[in-house]
Structure 1
């Protein structure tokens, strides 16, 4: 300890009465030796008892020039006189008084030991706090004795504040109303014992303050460039997943570019958002990877506590892995994020200290909900949380200044998307589960109800002028992808009816058109999610055409009658998009070749069947009608049908309707087309292997 530190410590020490251990009055706890000190045998004198006492006579005794007995808090003379016992401020005579070294060391050890006890019991790092800092909301560290009373009253863990501490993730404490319990003292409902004991059951790390500064910060060429790149993110992904506040992020951005040093959570958010935006804008992938690696330097610090900063960090990581082929699995990241948000209680309706805190929590949770539904349905996997377990309401349509503007705020589009995801979720759970298969009548009824909800959603969707593209074409895209999910063959509806076949075909063409429009203007996102949905829509068109061919073979009318040119252009668009994907991501070229081969088979079969129908019609027109001779009744004999002639294979997709059946082109077995019966297992396994899903 330095000489200056010793002097300050002695100044403070002179204000107290230090009685020797074993004196007539009980010594204060901080004057006792620390528990790790060596025990002293009975009868032996301790260093403290041999050390010189440091004391100062009170003002009353000094004025009377009488001996002061230094009793605390009042000496005997002041007690008899009925006056307040005061001591003079520390002066040279106190500062120069000698204080035993072992007494100072014992006090310092004692303070460190008590700080460690507090940290282990409550998770509060008091060593880093100044004296007098309020620690409300941390609760009583020794609350186990109150559990029986909590069970009896139906209450939760007691707390010194109505709201949980930041990062604790607990719900607000609400005790049951007085008199609501029966005379026996047992509540009408048992509490959630898991929440009461969750700190002890999970052995979680205590919440600790993050460092005030972060490591190196990557910067773009200028603040204007950084604001432009960040604006691209908020003008696209921000309308779908509003877990990051635009004004808050831009404020941190300006702070960084004016020389400020960000905190770890701000450091992580700044780098991961810019990395996502650089990928969206089709910029240099190496620059985006640079920002991503910089965000990883503070990711452990951003995730050290259970708070909104940790959930935001994981959501940013999930979005980046959705756009990049590097990084962890988005499926695993979303699973961890959903568990963290549930542990924090974000899925529950509860009270908050401010409206801003409540809306921030809602936006974070519903962004996670939206992303969870999208990825789960795309990969054919279970949802992260059931809708029945969610009680928190949707966010409000608040502007950045806090004013509410229904239909005209930055939250208008995200809120509308969240409403559709709720319908989407119920469709997915009804059709894609292992429950017993319902009757066709029940399926038709449920699909009718779902279709009414989806149509009503699209008709009532508000137009947001500030983002016209997202409030019109984006709504249409979401509408048709939801119809595809609803009408395609599913575990509980494996054989769709005519209505489903027609809806699948029409919706697939519209989905492909939306992607082709984005590709034509250079705004298509070359990510695995886009690849999956493009292939999904393309193979659905082929399946609908195969259903037409099957109906014709069975002498039934074709169920789907698309506009011929639009259908052919849609299929050709899928081939072009898949080939473009193959130039950017290894392995997709095999998928493009497979789709080209499948589409060629289907169109060849269609052309061949059309020629057979036309030839049959021509023969019937040439042959005159003759009376049928009477044939005596005979016993019925079942004859095997003659084998079908081979189907000519069109070598080029653009010439599929020009096949003349002369035999000059390769021939295939028509039964090979049956293998296209809408199976996505191979495709999903390919995507999982290529994109670490």
Structure 2
């Protein structure tokens, strides 16, 4: 049975700010540059998103740069350009490479008609490559739509459950990595947009990837993945990061289902105290806070971190932003019928939001983290949370004198707002359509600070040169006026799929 995967107009993201007139497709770089970028991909991006194993990335590099000049397949050409695009995002922004990553993506687009995006493991990998790049740049396609398509195919391929036929340990580990990367992407996209998950937790029965490095797994003589798990393994390793991130995503899914679910019975909507009893909200809040703390304590510890995803500060940031999601949900669920908002919860939310901005700003100032739309949204939400909690606390202080510790907390929060505003303005150089949100945020900050905060010491962004990339004219809706990127939406989102619909509707309201 065939089904049509179609992107509805309301689901579409704005077109890319990089049009035909701005950045042209790049040719393949010199082999030494490609080797550097692929190596960087396996040492950084692949740690968190192991959609392709490391050996596959290097095998691909060898096939593309064969000395005999043999013809390269369309899929290999597509994949090498996508890997170069993803890996060069940070190197370009730091000034280590000169080629804009969008140029590599433009080159990959040439092969879209000849590449599979439905019906196989390779197809899911090809889609996830687009999803990874879309985290950093516009691709004229909805990341949420990609996430649902990936999960749908995983279900059709049976990757969400234990394999029904024997697999080699390496292949089973690759399948697990692929499914859980789709899962993380689905939870990320749904969380950013506030939309339903593509698959319910109860429908997932496949285990997490075994905590073993790829090199150890390849050299292992074990016949099954269960045998591998029982062996002496050097920990932590790259799989430790994936297991931690997936566990954290599953925890935030439970939090979202508890505090953000839209499927509340009508009779409970009419009487919030029935569903949001203060005692029950506090009980759930402290239970989830304890769970998040336990997860942070279980994060892998690398003696010599070589990547952002191995640094303890990054784990602090991940958990803290999820704590803020929990606290905001608890605030929203507290009863409002004649009961004041608990001051302790408001203060906790204020300090948590401040901490989120401080952690990101510190990582950014050291050049250890880049900017994405997700980070922009987190900064924006954290800033609004600070403003909201400050307004409550300042209103209550009309009746009593401000304590010295409160003065320090308020000053720290005001400085965090300045930092967030400065960071957002830096982001606009690569995300022009975010400019209107940055301007609104700046106006709001002026209402809560005197403008004398410490700001941020973050490194300036590397924007495309004005000669090569003119500033696009803006429509009244704030999106750049330009031609749409060719082929991608039509070839991925409008292509007919041979994937049969799953037996159950794997949706879960938030």
1:599-657 deviation digits (Å, cap 9, x = unpaired):
22234xxxxxxxxxxxxxxxxxxxxxxxxxxxxxxxxxxxxxxxxxxxxxxxx51289x
- Offset at residue 689 of structure 1 (A): 10
Of 574, 587, 596, 2:420 maps to 574
- Offset at residue 464 of structure 1 (A): 2.4
Q: State whether residues 406 and 412 of structure 1, in contact with CA within 8 Å, keep that contact through their aligned partners in structure 2.
A: no
1:26-56 deviation digits (Å, cap 9, x = unpaired):
xxxxxxxxxxxxxxxxxxxxxxxxxxxxxxx
How far, CA to CA, are the matches of 1:577 and 1:546 in structure 2?
Answer: 23
Q: How does 1:375-390 map to 2 (within 5 A)?
A: 375-390=189-204
Q: 1:494 to 1:687 in 2, by over 3 A?
A: farther
SS of alignment partner, residue 135 of structure 2: helix
What is residue 471 of structure 2 aligned with on the other side? none
- Offset at residue 483 of structure 1 (A): 0.1
- Offset at residue 330 of structure 1 (A): 1.1
Q: State whether residues 425 and 438 of structure 2, in contact with CA within 8 Å, keep that contact through their aligned partners in structure 1.
A: yes
Q: State whether residues 118 and 153 of structure 2, in contact with CA within 8 Å, keep that contact through their aligned partners in structure 1.
A: no
How far, CA to CA, are the matches of 2:209 and 2:242 in structure 1?
Answer: 9
Q: 1:217 to 1:288 in 2, by over 3 A?
A: closer
What is residue 249 of structure 2 aligned with on the other side? 421
How far, CA to CA, are the matches of 2:195 and 2:400 in structure 1?
Answer: 38
How far, CA to CA, are the matches of 1:525 and 1:687 in structure 2?
Answer: 24
Q: How does 1:96-135 map to 2 (within 5 A)?
A: none
How far, CA to CA, are the matches of 1:575 and 1:333 in structure 2?
Answer: 31
- Offset at residue 274 of structure 1 (A): 0.9
What is residue 297 of structure 2 aligned with on the other side? 459
How far, CA to CA, are the matches of 1:688 and 1:420 in structure 2?
Answer: 34
Please give the TM-score of this superposition, normalised by the length of structure 2.
0.72
How far, CA to CA, are the matches of 1:539 and 1:531 in structure 2?
Answer: 12
Q: State whether residues 488 and 501 of structure 1, in contact with CA within 8 Å, keep that contact through their aligned partners in structure 2.
A: no
What is residue 481 of structure 1 aligned with on the other side? 321
SS of alignment partner, residue 238 of structure 2: coil
- Structure with the larger RCO, 1 or 2 (CA within 8 Å, 6+ apart): 2
Give the number of aligned pairs. Answer: 403
Q: 1:379 to 1:497 in 2, by over 3 A?
A: farther
SS of alignment partner, residue 295 of structure 1: helix
- Offset at residue 264 of structure 1 (A): 3.4
* Alignment pair present for 1:470 and 2:470: no
Q: State whether residues 229 and 278 of structure 1, in contact with CA within 8 Å, keep that contact through their aligned partners in structure 2.
A: yes
Of 523, 541, 549, 2:394 maps to 549
Q: State whether residues 117 and 124 of structure 2, in contact with CA within 8 Å, keep that contact through their aligned partners in structure 1.
A: no
Q: How does 1:163-174 map to 2 (within 5 A)?
A: none
What is residue 459 of structure 2 aligned with on the other side? none
Structure 2 residues without counterparts, runs of 5 or longer: 5-24, 221-227, 269-274, 455-476, 490-510
What is residue 140 of structure 2 aligned with on the other side? 327
Q: State whether residues 544 and 560 of structure 1, in contact with CA within 8 Å, keep that contact through their aligned partners in structure 2.
A: no
What is residue 343 of structure 2 aligned with on the other side? 498
Q: 1:597 to 1:304 in 2, by over 3 A?
A: closer
What is residue 197 of structure 1 aligned with on the other side? none
Q: State whether residues 280 and 323 of structure 1, in contact with CA within 8 Å, keep that contact through their aligned partners in structure 2.
A: no
SS of alignment partner, residue 323 of structure 1: coil
* Alignment pair present for 1:596 and 2:442: yes
How far, CA to CA, are the matches of 1:348 and 1:372 in structure 2?
Answer: 17
How far, CA to CA, are the matches of 2:83 and 2:335 in structure 1?
Answer: 42
Q: 1:532 to 1:364 in 2, by over 3 A?
A: same
- Offset at residue 439 of structure 1 (A): 1.6
- Measured on the aligned residues, the alpha-carbon RMSD in Å equals 3.2
Q: 1:595 to 1:547 in 2, by over 3 A?
A: same
Q: 1:499 to 1:231 in 2, by over 3 A?
A: farther
How far, CA to CA, are the matches of 1:381 and 1:499 in structure 2?
Answer: 30
Q: State whether residues 313 and 363 of structure 2, in contact with CA within 8 Å, keep that contact through their aligned partners in structure 1.
A: no
Q: 1:422 to 1:203 in 2, by over 3 A?
A: closer
How far, CA to CA, are the matches of 1:308 and 1:567 in structure 2?
Answer: 47
Q: State whether residues 303 and 313 of structure 1, in contact with CA within 8 Å, keep that contact through their aligned partners in structure 2.
A: yes
Structure 1 residues without counterparts, runs of 5 or longer: 1-200, 205-215, 604-651, 657-685
- Offset at residue 466 of structure 1 (A): 4.9
What is residue 52 of structure 2 aligned with on the other side? 244
How far, CA to CA, are the matches of 2:57 and 2:453 in structure 1?
Answer: 54
How far, CA to CA, are the matches of 1:509 and 1:234 in structure 2?
Answer: 33
How far, CA to CA, are the matches of 1:389 and 1:274 in structure 2?
Answer: 35
1:274-304 deviation digits (Å, cap 9, x = unpaired):
1111123235786422321232233344326
- Offset at residue 348 of structure 1 (A): 1.3
SS of alignment partner, residue 448 of structure 2: helix
Q: State whether residues 279 and 323 of structure 1, in contact with CA within 8 Å, keep that contact through their aligned partners in structure 2.
A: yes
How far, CA to CA, are the matches of 1:294 and 1:583 in structure 2?
Answer: 23
More moved, 249-258 vs 383-392: 249-258
How far, CA to CA, are the matches of 1:473 and 1:515 in structure 2?
Answer: 9
Of 162, 171, 174, 1:360 maps to 174
Q: 1:397 to 1:552 in 2, by over 3 A?
A: same
How far, CA to CA, are the matches of 1:555 and 1:316 in structure 2?
Answer: 56
How far, CA to CA, are the matches of 2:358 and 2:189 in structure 1?
Answer: 22
Of 213, 238, 252, 1:410 maps to 238
Q: State whether residues 212 and 235 of structure 2, in contact with CA within 8 Å, keep that contact through their aligned partners in structure 1.
A: no
Q: 1:414 to 1:654 in 2, by over 3 A?
A: same
Q: How does 1:14-29 map to 2 (within 5 A)?
A: none
How far, CA to CA, are the matches of 2:416 and 2:116 in structure 1?
Answer: 45
Q: How does 1:643-658 map to 2 (within 5 A)?
A: 652-654=450-452
- Structure of greater Rg: 1
